[in-house]
């Protein structure tokens, strides 16, 4: 039986499991303790000193995020001594911080700014003692501004959790900075552009390379026809940028808002999620029938693909040759859509709205054809909506434009870890087992880092694995290489939880991330959407049927391979 420890926090009696920290106990007592360096499931080092509290039996103030509770302990979190310590710490941080708050990407949504206001910190109490450092903007996805870095090291921990280590601390003491090996740009490291460092950063030291100005320019260009298409997970997260609860499905408001940005069309990327399944499921069946390399790995996530190209080039023949849904959609628009509507592809400006900073890197790949003109993160779309003065929360629901509007629920769940696998299994099961095949494969759902399952459909048995987060991906790959595990099909997403937790999703303060399972809440919105959908399988989507009838012929046809498939190449680690 688990032993409980009894203590008081600000006079409130609580009982917590042995080994709990004061911070964990405070949560049960409904007492808020501020943090900056602590981030649940990412880092717990007690270095920022903002969570200091007074506790009986302790000498001096202690860091609540790491200090263990003891029987009979009494904790005070808001004494004059504690408040003075926190205020001084914030003021010291501000003394070395580039305070360009009005023009910062995190203005009004900055954890340091919020704490400074709460503790009445004087921004210049200790003067301004920092050198403006050069901004690293050579990466296709992520910009680093070290002049705003507060040395919380949350970005470093996030990168290490991904087992990449593209950034880390350098030097010691006052000279300590966060940088890349040999002081090179992120562009020249094995960074996979996942953006987990960006969503971990509490200030504006890391952010995506913005395409907002380019998209505004295209919208007002009389020679351009602009089309947007939105990724599956964006409907479940965009509302957070406008104060709506996490997990609110805002698809209709999102479409309306995009159409109010200018004379643009808005399509549903779930269509090419469905198209991906048609190509990928048939590719898997072909591999099983012809003895080609297995397991087959999914290829939807550019962060995962770049990871494989850097660290596991030997498994590149096992990765599905399907392009990501983003690149499939852009290829369709610049070919099929332009042909059907008599548009010169040069005049069609294609904008994807994606949850992922790695997608910005992906559109620079020459082998993908250069069909996507701009990739906007969920945050960037929110910025454009706010800049346009649109009252998002009170918008009426709109509908995606034809012919790429109606898709299946299988395409929608692509945004959650396990969603690509489940969508593929639905179609493969129908092909192998007929109409009695199952529609839901709940064993591959959930936010666990690695999930395994075995299914027998018809006469075929498939062993599958799902991994999210590159640390978990590395474990799965090593198990496969050692022969310990043997799978038929493997789904990997670079970001923990999948696209719903992508590096381009809305900024969320640590107080929310530390207390709510965002990955589960956001994913549930997609599963609810799928459950309520009239179409549950990718092969039932009308637009997909039309595309094969009018354009591609059959899945994995020669034309499909020309536009919907790609190849991979080894990248140097350094």
- The two three-digit tokens of residue 118, written as one number: 């709460």
Choose the catalytic residue: 37, 197, 300, 537. Answer: 300
Dist CA 346 CA 562 (whole Å): 19
Catalytic residue, from 367, 478, 545, 550: name it: 367
Residue 280 falls in the annotated catalytic set: yes
Q: Compute the distance between CA of residue 267 and CA of residue 329 in angstroms, rounded to an integer.
A: 10
User: Residue 199: in which H helix or E strand, if any?
Assistant: helix 196-200
**Half-sphere CA count of 153, side-chain side, radius 13 A:** 15
Q: Among 295, 196, 188, which residue's Cα sits nearest to residue 571? A: 188
Residue 533 bears catalytic tag: no
Burial environment of residue 449 by CB neighbours within 10 A (0 to 12, 13 to 18, 19 or more)? middle
Told to judge if 201 belongs to the known catalytic residues of this protein, a careful annotator would answer no
Can you read off the two tokens belonging to residue 53?
A: 């509290």
Selecting among 240, 280, 309, 422, the annotated active-site residue is 280
Residue of 240, 327, 362, 380 with catalytic role: 362
- Asked if 362 is an active-site residue, the reply is yes
Q: Please count the other Cβ atoms lying within 10 Å of the Cβ belonging to residue 13.
A: 9
The DSSP element (H or E) to which 219 belongs, if any, is helix 212-219
Please give the backbone phi and psi of residue 493, each rounded to the nearest 5 degrees, phi first.
-120, 135
**Three-state secondary structure call for residue 457:** strand
Q: How far apart are CA 80 and CA 260, in angstroms?
A: 51
C-alpha distances out from residue 161 to 151, 200, 509, Å: 18, 12, 19
Contact present, 384 and 241 (Cβ < 8 Å): no
Integer CA distances (angstroms), 283 to 291, 319, 363, 486, in order: 12, 10, 24, 19
Active-site annotation holds for 330:
no
Q: How far apart are CA 451 and CA 453, in angstroms?
A: 7
Q: Is 562 a catalytic residue?
A: no
Taking residue 79's Cβ as centre, other Cβ atoms within 10 Å add up to 13
Q: How far apart are CA 103 and CA 213, in angstroms?
A: 15
CB neighbours of residue 174 within 10 Å: 7
Q: How many angstroms separate the first and last alpha carbons of the chain?
A: 50
Residues in a beta bridge with 6:
15
Look up 301 and say whether it is catalytic: no
β-sheet bridge partners, residue 455: 462
Considering 148, 161, 253, 359, which one is annotated as catalytic?
359
**Cβ neighbours of residue 474 closer than 8 Å, sequence gap 6 or more:** 163, 311
SS (H, E, C) 231-252: CHHHHHCHHHHHCCCCCCCCHH
Stated length of the chain: 574
Catalytic: 367? yes
Q: Between 325-332 and 270-290, two packed helices, what is the crossing angle to 10 degrees?
A: 110
CB 306 within 8 Å of CB 571? yes
CA atoms within 13 A on the CB side of 495: 30
Catalytic: which of 147, 180, 320, 468?
320
Catalytic residues: 280, 283, 300, 320, 359, 362, 367, 499
């Amino acid at each position: 039986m688990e032993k409980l420890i009894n203590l008081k926090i600000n006079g409130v009696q609580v009982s917590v499991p042995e080994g709990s920290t004061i911070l964990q106990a405070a949560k049960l007592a409904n007492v808020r303790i501020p943090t900056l360096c602590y981030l649940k499931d990412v880092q717990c080092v007690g270095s920022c000193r903002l969570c200091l509290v007074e506790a009986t039996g302790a000498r001096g103030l202690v860091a609540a995020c790491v200090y263990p509770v003891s029987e009979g302990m009494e904790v005070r979190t808001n004494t004059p001594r504690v408040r003075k310590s926190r205020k001084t710490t914030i003021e010291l941080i501000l003394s070395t911080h580039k305070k360009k708050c009005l023009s910062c990407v995190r203005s009004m949504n900055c954890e340091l700014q919020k704490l400074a206001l709460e503790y009445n910190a004087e921004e210049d109490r200790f003067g301004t003692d920092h050198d403006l450092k050069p901004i690293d903007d050579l990466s296709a996805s992520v910009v680093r501004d070290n002049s705003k870095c507060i040395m919380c090291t949350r970005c470093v921990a996030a990168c290490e959790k991904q087992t990449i280590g593209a950034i880390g601390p350098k030097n010691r003491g006052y000279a300590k900075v966060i940088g890349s090996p040999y002081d090179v740009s992120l562009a020249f490291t094995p960074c996979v552009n996942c953006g987990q460092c960006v969503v971990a950063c509490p200030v504006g030291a890391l952010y995506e390379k913005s395409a907002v100005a380019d998209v505004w320019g295209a919208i007002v260009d009389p020679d351009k026809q602009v089309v947007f298409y939105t990724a599956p997970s964006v409907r479940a997260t965009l509302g957070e940028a406008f104060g709506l609860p996490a997990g609110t499905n805002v698809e209709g408001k999102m479409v309306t808002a995009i159409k109010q940005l200018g004379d643009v069309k808005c399509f549903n990327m779930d269509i090419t999620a469905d198209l991906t399944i048609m190509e990928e499921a048939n590719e898997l069946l072909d591999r099983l029938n012809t003895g080609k390399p297995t397991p087959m790995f999914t290829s939807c996530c550019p962060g995962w693909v770049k990871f494989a190209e850097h660290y596991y080039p030997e498994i590149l023949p096992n990765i599905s040759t399907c392009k990501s849904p983003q690149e499939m959609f852009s290829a369709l628009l610049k070919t099929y859509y332009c042909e059907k509507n008599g548009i010169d592809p040069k005049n069609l400006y294609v904008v994807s709205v994606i949850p992922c900073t790695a997608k910005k890197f992906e559109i620079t790949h020459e082998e993908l054809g250069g069909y996507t003109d701009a990739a906007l993160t969920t945050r960037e779309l929110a910025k454009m909506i706010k800049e346009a003065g649109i009252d998002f929360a009170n918008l009426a629901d709109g509908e995606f434009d034809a012919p790429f509007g109606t898709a299946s629920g299988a395409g929608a769940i692509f945004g959650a870890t396990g969603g690509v696998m489940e969508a593929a299994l639905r179609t493969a099961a129908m092909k192998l087992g007929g109409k009695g095949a199952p529609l839901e494969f709940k064993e591959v759902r959930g936010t666990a880092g690695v999930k395994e399952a075995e299914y027998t459909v018809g006469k075929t048995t498939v062993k599958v694995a799902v991994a999210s987060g590159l640390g978990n991906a590395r474990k799965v790959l090593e198990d496969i290489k050692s022969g310990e595990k043997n799978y038929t099909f493997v789904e990997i997403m670079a970001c923990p939880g999948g696209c719903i937790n992508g590096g381009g999703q809305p900024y969320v303060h640590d107080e929310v991330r530390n207390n709510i399972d965002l990955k589960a809440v956001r994913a549930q919105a997609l599963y609810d959407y799928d459950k309520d959908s009239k179409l549950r399988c990718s092969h039932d989507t009308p637009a997909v049927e039309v595309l094969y009838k009018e354009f591609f012929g059959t899945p994995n046809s020669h034309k499909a391979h020309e536009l919907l498939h790609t190849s991979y190449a080894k990248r140097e680690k350094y």
